[in-house]
Structure 1
Amino acid sequence: MLKGICIGSLAGGNNAERLALASDAGFEAVEFVTRPEGEAPTFASSAAELQEVKALAASHGLTLSSTLGGVFWQYSLTADDESVRRQAIDYAAECIRVTKAIGASCVLIVPAVVYMTHAGEPRQVRYDLAYERALAALKEIAVTAEAEGIDIGVENVWNGFLPSPTEFAGFLDEVGSKRVGAYFDVGNIVPLGDPADWITILGRRLKRVHVKDFRRSVGNINGFVPLLSGDVPWEPVVQALREVGYDGPLTAEMGGYKYHTKAVAYHTSLALDFILGRRS
């Protein structure tokens, strides 16, 4: 497995600074965010700009394995407004296009927003409608993903959707595409159950893995903590990943530090060395 990190977890004013930091800290893979505008890679980026991102990563010896679709909370695939759902599907196609252009092979998608548990917001859509809409949307997105040779990673997030591993696995099976699987977030699942169980049950459906840590005693959004300082049982998690044959990146999605902001990268890289058994 590779040591990966999200671009947003890296201190720096631009891609060049962030990727240089990732390389210096010992990471092997970086995950970019795909969104309508901003610094490349975006939906508005030219072909040349997207190639520059690809080349910049390569110059630092970094793999671009996946991207994070940064639009699917605001533009939900399950919104009551049909025009918003249509926009979300169109944005998914753009995420796929940009991901392929930079040489990555998987897009993270938030499949639904029933409610935002992390924000304490009221329900946005009825659960059965969310399930129906998410299923229909992902079947449509899968057609594009299959044509372009890009995987879709459906992430388990705090959205009030697919709260058990068996339901998550069944949902993916209903989509019915080998290109659509799980983008499993180890830390997100800690309040709901044992992440190793989820990994075992999802099995072959795993496309990518996010890592962060969480303290159950806090029990809310403030419970996310640096790797190895929470309640994630890392040895069983890594063992389960190996048993199901996962050999992709463990991509750290970390919050920032108030001081010495670059230290996040170095601390996280060291923690991943211990998690992966490279140090003991």
Structure 2
Amino acid sequence: MNATASNRRNFLRQATTAAAIAAIGSAIPTNSGESAAAQRAAGASPDKLQLYKAVKWGMIEGAPTVLDHFQICKEIGYDGMELISPADFSAEEVRKASDATGLPVHGLVDMKHWDVRLSAPDAKVRDEGVAILRQAILDCHAFGGFSVLLVPGRVNGADENHDHVWQRSIVGIRQVLPLASKLGVRVLIENVWNGFCETPEQLRDYIDEIDNPWVGSYFDIGNVVKFSPSENWIRTLGSRIVKLDVKDWSTTKGFDAKIGEGDVNWAAVREALREIKFSGWCTAEVAGGDREWLTDVAKRMDQTLLA
């Protein structure tokens, strides 16, 4: 990839971080006086990562309304919210809940990307996937967020092999980039168990082939342990990483391993993140639960990533 594209990507990541700091600087969780994120932004130790915590929307149980979702996360000490698209709530509800709690929306997940895939053999399905992604970008902007998490496809037989996923998804993603750049919403590729880009070099080259500053990596720390150490992926992807999904994984418990109790080498992950000068959002992606469970998840994120 040329130097100009790399410089654009670095500029966008710096701008994203600055926006995150500005957005959460006034978030005041009731249980701690001042948000952990605001404290870190104001005077963090140079050895500690500047990270902002969230959880997946579906993890928050016992919250019948949008405001309840926000309120629970604020009281526990999370720094912001990640939503979903399509959703059964309105942008007005989200904006009011964000204003009431001081918690920003950092992004959302395209919830249809597995079933309506950009890599599907049927061109009509691919077109539908592009339309869904475009709507997710619009929803994200309406909610006040700045990224859409996307799984670009799935290796699924002879009619949907690795090369198909690579080429078809890139065609689809490029169709939404004018809108993404206009609204300031980044399309971030998550690494999952979909048979696609199972080495860090492949994912690096995939993002580089798209060669657009509005596309980056939503790096899932736990998803890659099956293939190779997470810290190796971090160093290879470097500034392509815009956000983190946080989970653990072990050969004995799989994804049932709690954060900090699996095979992820968290000390090595922290060191690799420092090496690439990462700062930004990290969102837990584990089993959901009640307030007590979500409190434990927050503590585990602090213990593993902010130790």
1:39 corresponds in structure 2 to 88
Structure-1 residue corresponding to 2:211: 176
CA contact (8 A) 1:2 1:248 kept: yes
Instruction: Say which structure is richer in helix.
Output: 2
Q: Which residue of 92, 95, 102 maps to 1:61?
A: 102
Query: What is the match of residue 100 of structure 1?
Result: 141
Match of 1:119 in 2: none
Are 2:159 and 1:130 aligned?
no
Q: Distance in 2 between matches of 1:156 and 1:228?
A: 20
Give the corresponding residue for 2:60.
10
Aligned residues: 256
Compared CA separation, residues 67 and 234, structure 1 to 2 (3 A): same
CA distance in 2, matches of 1:13, 1:229: 31
Q: Does the Cα contact within 8 Å between 1:186 and 1:213 map onto a contact in 2?
A: yes
The 1:18/1:124 distance shift into structure 2, 3 A limit, reads farther
CA contact (8 A) 1:34 1:95 kept: yes
Partner of residue 115, structure 2 = 74
The sequence identity of aligned pairs, in percent, is 27
Q: Establish whether residue 208 from structure 1 lines up as the match of residue 240 from structure 2.
A: no
Deviations 1:113-157 (A, max 9, x none): 114xxxxxx777122222110121122222321222111101101
Q: Which stretches of structure 1, 4 residues or longer, exceed 4 Å deviation after superposition?
A: none
Offset at residue 226 of structure 1 (A): 1.9
The structural deviation recorded for 1:51 is 3.0
Aligned partners of 1:216 and 1:223 also within 8 Å: no
Q: CA RMSD in A?
A: 1.7
Secondary structure of 1:214 counterpart = coil
Q: Which residue of 2 aligns with 1:265?
A: 294
Aligned to 1:247: 279
TM-score by length of 1: 0.86
CA distance in 2: counterparts of 1:274 and 1:128, whole angstroms: 40
Counterpart AA for 1:30: M
Q: One-letter code of the match for 1:265? A: L
Deviation, 1:194, is: 0.7
**Contact 1:181 1:205 survives alignment (8 Å):** yes
From 181, 186, 189, the equivalent of 1:146 is 181
Residue 268 of structure 2 is aligned to residue 217 of structure 1: no
What code does the residue aligned with 1:269 have? A
C-alpha distance in structure 2 between counterparts of 1:165 and 1:235, whole Å: 19
Contact 2:288–2:294 under 8 Å retained in 1: no
